[in-house]
A = this chain, B = another copy of it.
């Protein structure tokens, strides 16, 4: 697999793939006869995992740490586990924070909804221009 195809299949840009390799997040890729990177399917598993770490807010610094431990060998298992556990705890904490914020957001939105009800209590077609009421309603759920 060339870098362009890997880019498509992984969702990263080719630029980003090279960047990740440069900083050590991806292993140095094998090269074909012409010196181009040639990837094995298996890299996709690693990229997908990195992607989850990224999605959950792990900084690249820490992913590098994990990658370094991994490269060191099986004896770093406990350290990797500890790293992931610490990260998981942070993610959980962030998750509940988000949930709390979401409640506040919902409440806030409700106050706007209520305000709109009070302002326009008897007319739910006021945005329609002609005789197309179903469309007007659909546009303002």
- Which A residues lie at the B interface, using CB under 8 A? 40, 42-43, 45-46, 48-50, 52, 55-56, 70, 73-75, 77-78, 80-81, 84-85, 87-88, 91-92, 94-95, 97-99, 101-102, 104-106, 108-109, 112-113, 115-116, 119, 127-129, 131-133, 135, 137-139, 141
Contacts and interface: CB of A to CB of B under 8 A. Distances in A.
Given A98-B98, A104-B52, A81 B113 contact: yes
A112 B77 contact: yes
Q: For the complex formed by this chain, how many copies does it contain in all?
A: 2
B91 A102 contact: yes
B52 A101 contact: yes
Given A87-B105, A98-B98, A102-B95, A81 B116 contact: yes
A78 B91 CA distance: 34
